[in-house]
């Protein structure tokens, strides 16, 4: 099925861009008229993925983070967050709840949030090449009451 709309943004891995990423994805997904909770779920999941890139993919430098998103008429939203950073050597381990290499102040819940706040999560990573996180969410399409309003 062909996407009804798509977008792509690239920005440097500065932590001040975490809120930028949330705002952009929210503005884009709003076109499908999601419920408030659905929109917060997506904002939160994207925030986690972008934060991972900033902390883990580029620990000692500023690199590029790219987000692409596609909307489908069925209410399906597909979001890819990719980096060209150091990669994850053990994806399964990284996805375990509470596991972190980020130190004391990190909860180790990034992937758990992505998993429970979206309908599908896929992580593909190659050491030294980068990581692509794909998030999918189905927005409940509202019945339009066009005639009445």
Catalytic residue among 52, 92, 104, 126: 52
The reply on whether position 48 binds another protein by CB under 8 A is yes
Catalytic residue among 48, 105, 126, 144: 48
Could you confirm whether 144 is annotated as catalytic? no
Q: Which is nearer to another protein, 74 or 107 (CB)?
A: 107
What span, in angstroms and rounded, lies between the C-alpha atoms of 57 and 121? 18
Q: Give the 3-state secondary structure of 35-76.
A: CHHHHHHHHHHHHHHHHHHHHHHCCCCCCEEEEEEEECCCCE
Could you confirm whether 52 is annotated as catalytic? yes
Give the residue among 78, 61, 76 at the shortest CA–CA distance from 8: 78
Which three-class secondary structure state does DSSP give residue 80?
strand
CB of 29 to another protein, least distance (A): 15
In the stretch 86-105, what mask flags binding to another protein with x, by CB under 8 A?
-----------xx-----xx
The reply on whether position 51 binds another protein by CB under 8 A is yes
The helices-and-strands tally (H runs, E runs) of the chain is 4, 5
| C-beta of residue 81 within 8 angstroms of C-beta of residue 132 | yes
Active site residues: 48, 52, 106
Summarize as ranges the residues that interact with another protein (CB under 8 A).
15-16, 18-19, 22, 37, 40, 43-44, 47-48, 51, 54-55, 97-98, 104-107, 109-110, 112-113, 116
């Amino acid at each position: 099925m062909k996407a009804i709309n798509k977008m792509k943004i690239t920005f440097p891995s500065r932590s001040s861009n975490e809120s930028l990423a949330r705002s952009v994805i929210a503005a884009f997904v709003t076109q499908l008229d999601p419920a408030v909770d659905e929109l917060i779920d997506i904002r939160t999941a994207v925030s986690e993925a972008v934060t991972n890139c900033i902390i883990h993919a580029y620990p000692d430098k500023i690199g590029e983070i790219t987000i692409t998103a596609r909307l489908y008429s069925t209410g399906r939203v597909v979001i890819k967050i990719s980096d060209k950073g150091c990669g994850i050597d053990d994806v399964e381990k990284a996805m375990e709840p509470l596991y972190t290499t980020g130190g004391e102040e990190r909860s180790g819940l990034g992937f758990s949030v992505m998993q429970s706040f979206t309908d599908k999560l896929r992580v593909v990573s190659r050491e030294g090449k980068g990581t692509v996180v794909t998030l999918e969410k189905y927005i409940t399409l509202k019945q339009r009451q066009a005639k009445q309003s």
